[in-house]
Amino acid sequence: MKKVSNILLIINFKKQVEASFIQRLSDIIISKGSRVSIFPYDEERFNDMRITPRPSIIKNDDELRKADMAIVLGGDGSIIRASSKVSAIDIPILGINFGTLGYMAELEAREVDRIGNILDGQYNIEKRMMLSVEIIREGAIAYGAHNVLNDVVLSNGPVAKLLNFEATVNGALMQKYRADGIVAATPTGSTAYSLSAGGPIMDPCLDAVCVTPICSHSLSDRPVILPSNAVIGIENIDTEDDSVYATIDGRHVERLEPDDRIRIFRSDFCAKLVRTKTNSFISVLNSKL
């Protein structure tokens, strides 16, 4: 791959990321002749940590597009949030794990010295399928997202209660459900909520979608794996108690209104994860899970 000249640094400051680590990472990047940029909301934290030299501040989309790579310090959730920002402009993501599982991250914090080789172009890109989701209300799109890396979840509110709803595939009825909800997951998201709900683990490089009911009250309801070109509809949703929600990648929650419909389909975007190791999916699965 090409040499990396411009780094977008994204840090989850809720994790215990020490200033000394950020300074070490910055020093490596600068020593390779590369430039560090950050989003404006991180500027104050960098100033408090006295990181030198001061990074450039991303002021607009044109400046963001100059980034060759985003380095994310955090856990899987941090990488998912970063993907929502940079996938549409084709910026690959290198994750350094400061979370609990770190299933999607390529490096652990102790491996920071490997950054130099990556900046020299010694890396590969792994593409991950993403989803688009639309909430249709009175014939119009009330909410839309086109860079969903993990999953879309239909669930009830804070009080556990069964939901009645239907799932369609390409307009044809797939199943009528009586359950706590349903998860539509990418292969990347198959190891998250979908797995906890009894769904299968999918190789993250597959092009497919897994639909998994949550605590269904029917023994015949099972997870279904669909091709990536399937258009999934969730409709006729029981919203009488005004507490039914669609949760997108665990980061955006949209309350549903009566007669709302959810439409899920493959996104035109994909997440690009930086890879440098030869670990197979199975070996990573074994070590992480």
Active site residues: 76
- Give the chain's length: 289
Helix residue ranges, H only, 132-256: 193-196
What is the C-alpha separation between 199 and 122, in angstroms, rounded?
35
Helix residue ranges, H only, the chain: 19-31, 43-49, 61-64, 76-86, 115-119, 193-196, 281-288
Two structure tokens written together for 87: 């996938």
In this structure, are strands 6-11 and 35-38 parallel, antiparallel, or unpaired?
parallel
- What Rg value do the Cα atoms of the chain yield, rounded? 20
Nearest to 232 by CA among 200, 189, 255, 264: 264
Give how far Cα 147 sits from Cα of 140, 192, 254, 288, Å. 20, 17, 16, 25
Produce one character per residue of 232-252: b if its CB has 16 or more CB atoms within 10 Å, e if not. Answer: bbbeebebeeeebebbbbbee
- Name the phi and psi angles at 268, rounded to 5: -75, -15
Residue 47: how many other CB atoms lie within 10 Å: 10
Nearest to 265 by CA among 173, 154, 133: 133
